[in-house]
Structure 1
């Protein structure tokens, strides 16, 4: 059963409307608040939360409800209000559904998923027990051990919501891994995949009929053992409901889940760019210009929207993005940026202050269908714009066979292959002699910008069916580093 219920409404839920929704639990339920009122909780008589409701979010960007929920939202702008029920309590899940249904009825709109928000009746909750603290203290966390925090997400796309962002932050500060459990039909947003990183404790755990559980990124069959999901010694995993169960130690190594190995032939492709710009620290600095310039070069238009979590709720604005980064300084700021529904595009940007200045680290991807050609001819021009106007340090461009919608499935996907590497003008100047220009590659680099101080664009094979391009890339990196 779903743990998250979302109301998509035409008007902002006012306090009376929210209160009417919360009272769906009956007069014996209490209302509390966390995070200076950003999260409102419906609690039992002992103060333990049954349903946690986040502050309504105004969404100005088209396509986010369709991308993340597969739902049809009201015309923009509309309000997105999330309610999360305490895991394992059926009445709590019904409370969340009733809350969303009442909210949608009172202020106009709909609730997702539709089957979770059908009833407006008061939910009987006599004798209900809820998840014990400290797991319930963090609304997004369902199971907490001394090794990991486990989050159960029954959504079409597991996205970097404000709930999940808080869970990532809390587990990092506590030195814990984060493990996300989802049903087999779910996909990951690239933002979540990248945030999971390579930590051995943090995983995407997919429930599976044949193998129990497996890692959605590596395919390793998993078992719940020693307080976390870890690779199982056999192809049969145990349940999270049996924390004391261990895998058969006789098997020599983990196996791959059968579902993960069912590879689909993709005719769709993704074009991915990862680059870093280092700007001189200046009060007049406007952030986001590098990303907007590349977006325009590759699509002919600017990004559609941005935010500090998903859904990306704000219309694209360099000034508003810069203001948020300045308000959070000297702490780093993370943004997600999205494109229009007809041209799938998603980027993450991390802005931080360093001794070198203000750094923007950006990962950007666009999706293309079988009948669409990625605009490869525009890449040198995009690189030149970054090098001449936005203090580009370096950039790697890749292409891969993968889904047009950019979602990450729990199946094997081939890696990207490098199309080009770009070295910024300052980095070229710092290399001794002609090292940057004379490389072991078959094709010479293409100079970008002024002849007296160019950046260099290194073309690479870029065939999605041929991974040998990585050998050329490695040879180039070793050469540039003087190895």
Structure 2
């Protein structure tokens, strides 16, 4: 059975292992729940960690990482809020934050880069080049593998990857890729005007994103790039405890998006460094507001 418990709101899977990944089994559970218009909730012990792809996959409505609290009950592995089963899903209670979540987590650095580009649809279009570019700039070479689940064991090939996306169109395709020190996910979807790729890549160290933005802007119709720094483990897994707030590093908006939000079109994407402290997200909002009002 793919899902251990299926309610009217969610599917629940139980995982008892040190590192819980987006295995083919969990990926199938996500698919089954999505087709039934339900969320997926993954229940683990407090000693478990999630891989980045699974963490990114648990972002839909009612999706949640549920951690067994050593003090009794459950809590959310990302926010720390206490949870209880209400008959249809694990939902927040009024109990506040679990003490186990307050324990200090890893003090390393993770950097995540989210990039969105658009393509004109044509027969020879190959998708996956954006992910390849991100691996080359953030790591030391192209991705080594990709897949619809972890481990991403299919040898990297934009041609084969594109074939899978074409077979699934007009449905969107969500994939995992790995490179030298880089782990990421990508979503390819048809739009009214063509094809859009949204890629998230993470590295377990500091990274300079300016060169990546320049390559993406030169090679694609770049919509936007956002880089943020997150405290955490250098292997990019996530612990169910507090590590610290993510802060923005910088952002870029491409010419097409500049026109769409009403700002002067410069003809190229311009990188903007952002305050990497507690006020970083307020600065991000101010920059977006200024761009919209330009």
Structure possessing the higher radius of gyration over alpha carbons: 1
Shift of 1:198: 5.5
Q: 2:162 aligns with which of 322, 333, 336?
A: 322
- 8 A Cα contact 1:428 1:456, kept in partner: no
In 2, Cα distance between equivalents of 1:393 and 1:461: 22
In 1, Cα distance between equivalents of 2:110 and 2:154: 25
- 8 A Cα contact 1:213 1:222, kept in partner: yes
Shift of 1:230: 2.3
Q: 1:209 aligns with which of 62, 70, 75?
A: 70
- Render the CA deviation track for 1:252-281: whole Å, top value 9, x for unaligned: x22211110112360x11111001010000
- 8 A Cα contact 1:211 1:258, kept in partner: no
Q: TM-score, normalised by structure 1?
A: 0.58
> The residue matched to 1:481 in structure 2 has which SS?
helix
User: What's 2:90 paired with?
Assistant: 229
Which structure has more relative contact order (CA 8 Å, sep 6+)? It is 2
> Paired residues, what number?
294
> The residue matched to 1:388 in structure 2 has which SS?
helix
Q: Give the alignment of 1:307-318 within 5 angstroms.
A: 307-318=147-158
Change (3 A) 1:315 1:214: same
Runs of 5+ unmatched residues, structure 1: 1-138, 233-252, 369-373, 438-451
Q: Give the alignment of 1:40-51 within 5 angstroms.
A: none
1:425 maps to 2:255:
yes
User: What's 1:152 paired with?
Assistant: 14
Runs of 5+ unmatched residues, structure 2: none
Change (3 A) 1:211 1:386: same
In 2, Cα distance between equivalents of 1:367 and 1:356: 36
1:181 maps to 2:43:
yes
> The residue matched to 1:457 in structure 2 has which SS?
strand
Q: Give the alignment of 1:72-91 within 5 angstroms.
A: none
- 8 A Cα contact 1:305 1:339, kept in partner: yes
Q: TM-score, normalised by structure 2?
A: 0.93
Shift of 1:151: 0.6
- 8 A Cα contact 2:130 2:216, kept in partner: yes
User: What's 1:413 paired with?
Assistant: 243
